[in-house]
Structure 1
Amino acid sequence: MKLLRLLRILSVGLRFGLEEFFLGHERVRPLRWLVQALLFWRPLNQPRGMRLRLALEALGPIFVKFGQMLSTRRDLIPAVAVKVLRPGIAPVIAHDVSLLYAAAGLVEKLFADGKRLRPREVIDEFEKHLGDELDLMREAANCSQLRRNFKDSPLLMVPEVYWDYCAHDVMVMDRMDGIPVSQIERLRESGTDIPALAARGVEIFFTQVFRDGFFHADMHPGNILVRAGSEQYIALDFGIMGTLTEVDKQYLARNFLAFFRRDYKGVALAHLESGWVPPDTRMDELEAAVRAVCEPVFDRPLKDISFGRVLLQLFQASRRFNVVIQPQLVLLQKTLLNIEGLGRQLDPELDLWKTAKPFLERWMNEQMGWRALVNNLNTEAPKWAALLPQLPRLAHQSLNGNRLAQLETGLTLILQQQHVLNRWLGVIAGLLATLTTAAVYFILR
């Protein structure tokens, strides 16, 4: 059976012009010329990624060991997963996005809150991430970055990317074996501590958001596996990743901490200082509105809380205060809803607030304490070293610039005064000419 399977793989691969995967070794590389000569009739005008996908579809379930064919020695490269872009998908997505833009334009025109919700900016963000998903080299880079962020971490395992076999329409990475996170009974049978697994999921999310500012934004159960007998997650599908600036992270952390501490005035102030509400907003009214939404959800298990409902109520309350929707945070809100669903599946008794609060407090202390000061000094020191020798020249240029600006202003004023003087001289000359003419007229009479 193995021999028949290998022959089937070889024949399909050769038919679609993929002999480089089978005849890549130096000793058999000359056979590629023989194959190309014998199979000259093959239509090879399609991109390699499309041909690879067609080959995978032709092979079907028989193609379970293809990853081992990427190397002549199995100890050099493990079994891999090959992701190939679906042919012809880009025009379909472009058409759908154009429909979304049309709908966004209608929302802006027909609804009172249309402009405040900024639907076009939200679609812009959505289109950007869809474009990223269509480039598998970008997805491979996302995977590589996330793997680097969690290198040797007991929390999360990320597959390794094999760059030599990647292109914009093909991605090759480690094949990850694990139990789908939705199969809770199998996880229990393997010895996984389910409550600990749920708590680690929350920790992974907040670590990605606040430590790295780079988070997996498609964390539904289909993209998450768990190593059997452990509480280590395995991440899959890196097409949609979210990023946050340092400013976003600071304000989000302040909002979360104030929320967990039931400091609703702090939530209102954080919204004001971040520019999410107009500067003339009354803080006491915003504080009362946030309290009315958030207070009922505290001290309740996750099974009794719906983040979707809380977010909806917050959006409804925000209408009164003209809160500006931040497009860069839409992915974060989507991921929060995914985390809610995952936590509800694993451990409905999970107290999300108590799990997340210590992590956020520790992160804020690291950002505000003396260690943060030392880290910032170390970060800025190279910039200062480059800037300090230039200060005398920059100061001289600044002074000269100010002096030139003053001279330019003075000349402008002189020219304006000259124009006024010229007009008055013209008026006086006209009057003198008139008086002279009148005097001559009377004398001659």
Structure 2
Amino acid sequence: MRYRLDSLILSTPLLKGFRPLLYLIPWHYFPVKKFTRGERIRLALEELGPIYIKFGQTLSTRPDLLPTDISLELKKLQDSCPAFDTQSARSIIEQELGSSIDQLFKTFDDQPLASASIAQVHTATTLDGHEVVVKIVRPDIDTLIAGDIKLMRSLAKLVNNHPVAKKIRPIEIVEEFESIINDELDMRIEAGHCDKLRANFEDSGLLYIPKVYHRLSGIKVLTTERIYGTPIGEIETLKAKNIDMKRLAEEGVVIFFTQVFKHNFFHADMHPGNIFVSDKGRYIGVDFGIMGTLTEEDKDFLADIFLAFFNQNYQKVAQVYIDSGWIGAHTDEKAFEAAVKKICSPMFDKPLGEISFGQVLLDLIREAKNFDISVQPQLLLLDKTLLNIEGLGRQLYPQLDLWSTAKPFLEDLT
């Protein structure tokens, strides 16, 4: 009621037939505060609580389904909430690891370092003196999530038979969210992600991944090496430390393309809160709950799409989609090619180095949906990550030329 989502929801094509009901709702006659529609949705999700904040964050990774203004607003959702009590934190650790805190750690700070919807983090010292951070899953969070997912699934089924739902795919969205959040509840999965990414970059000076202390970890507890660095969003601090911003921006792009095209395993939650920079200018990554992988076919698709686009071969761009097998039986291929050209041609009005890879892919994905062409979920996850990396890179160094950095990776595949 406070943010008048009644009028916003009933204004969608999905619920067009229910619009007369607006006049039966008493608060329909109350004035609407001057918020944009994206702000109204974000503020409502924040008031609904941590699970709905998490759901909003998941929706923000699907700009193919949401209008741009709403998608951008949902990216502002901050996953933070009040800490749970110290006794509960200690109890979860002791039950999970089978020993008392004093037998597990030399020191344990009862004051949380951070607290979010799924878990909170405490600092500690191992018995042999190493500084660590201990991530603890919230008590009873699985029961709370199960109830919320059940409600979301019921709502998704309610609207699923509407013709507009074919594009939105509400049941698919809820299932995707359920899969993501259930993975985040099991700290063993994140520990495995951390180990794999650390091994992939072990001999590289580009990216440092903290060590996992497996003896001090389990389903509800993850203990990792404590790292120190400057949050990558603190640009003035980085400049004051004489970090080479051009090199930092370029190496961020190299790290991303190395993960995608060489390791086939990429950090899919690379927002500024999860990236730090050491005093020597080396990237440090944290929070490995959401990772992505691509099949060889997906990687070939990406490389072919980008190379064809930058060669302004729009027929080839359309043909790559057709050859992928994702195209609908009744799709007009010539019309799709014309639509691709209409989208892509104006982008070359700007210098090559200023063209956004992520925006190119997003625009193509959105247009493909208009022609009943399906797109693999992992490509959507990758595109969200690519948009983050591009935005961050150009924030660090506005003249960043992604094409020059990416071209060798793409040509190696083709």
TM-score normalised per structure 2: 0.68
Q: State the distance in 2 between where 1:19 and 1:215 align.
A: 35
Instruction: Name the counterpart of 1:331.
Output: 381
The answer to whether residue 268 in structure 2 is matched with residue 188 in structure 1 is no
C-alpha change, 1:91 and 1:300, in structure 2 (3 Å) is farther
Find the partner of 2:258 among 196, 207, 227.
207
Q: How does 1:210-359 map to 2 (within 5 A)?
A: 210-230=261-281, 232-279=282-329, 281-298=331-348, 300=350, 313-359=363-409
C-alpha change, 1:306 and 1:356, in structure 2 (3 Å) is closer
Report the alpha carbon displacement of residue 90 of structure 1 after superposing the two structures with TM: 1.6
Contact 1:302 1:344 in 2 (8 A): no
The answer to whether residue 140 in structure 2 is matched with residue 88 in structure 1 is yes
Residues 299-325 of structure 1, C-alpha deviation per residue, up to 9 Å, x if partnerless?
A: 636997677765664355324421113
C-alpha change, 1:19 and 1:309, in structure 2 (3 Å) is closer
Worse overlay, 325-334 or 99-108: 99-108
Q: State the distance in 1 between where 2:321 and 2:233 align.
A: 36
Q: How does 1:16-415 map to 2 (within 5 A)?
A: 20-23=100-103, 58-59=110-111, 67-68=124-125, 70-71=126-127, 73-74=128-129, 78-112=130-164, 114-230=165-281, 232-279=282-329, 281-298=331-348, 300=350, 313-362=363-412, 364-365=413-414
Residues 34-83 of structure 1, C-alpha deviation per residue, up to 9 Å, x if partnerless?
A: xxxxxxxxxxxxxxxxxx9xx85x4457xx99532x22x33xxx211111
- The runs of 5 or more residues in structure 1 that have no matched partner are 1-8, 29-51, 366-445
Matched AA of 1:323? I
Report the alpha carbon displacement of residue 296 of structure 1 after superposing the two structures with TM: 2.1
C-alpha change, 1:23 and 1:286, in structure 2 (3 Å) is closer
Matched AA of 1:171? L
Contact 2:358 2:384 in 1 (8 A): no
DSSP 3-state at the match of 1:84: strand
Q: State the distance in 2 between where 1:361 and 1:304 align.
A: 20
Q: Which structure is larger by alpha-carbon Rg, 1 or 2?
A: 1
Matched AA of 1:185? E
TM-score normalised per structure 1: 0.63
Contact 1:216 1:241 in 2 (8 A): yes
Matched AA of 1:115? K
C-alpha change, 1:261 and 1:188, in structure 2 (3 Å) is same
DSSP 3-state at the match of 1:110: coil
C-alpha change, 1:272 and 1:167, in structure 2 (3 Å) is same
How many percent identity over aligned positions?
47
Contact 1:343 1:350 in 2 (8 A): yes
C-alpha change, 1:207 and 1:182, in structure 2 (3 Å) is same
Worse overlay, 81-90 or 137-146: 81-90
Q: State the distance in 2 between where 1:79 and 1:302 align.
A: 46
Which one has the bigger helix percentage? 1
Contact 2:160 2:170 in 1 (8 A): yes
Aligned residues: 317
Report the alpha carbon displacement of residue 289 of structure 1 after superposing the two structures with TM: 1.2
Q: State the distance in 2 between where 1:175 and 1:191 align.
A: 24
Q: State the distance in 2 between where 1:123 and 1:255 align.
A: 29
Report the alpha carbon displacement of residue 329 of structure 1 after superposing the two structures with TM: 2.5
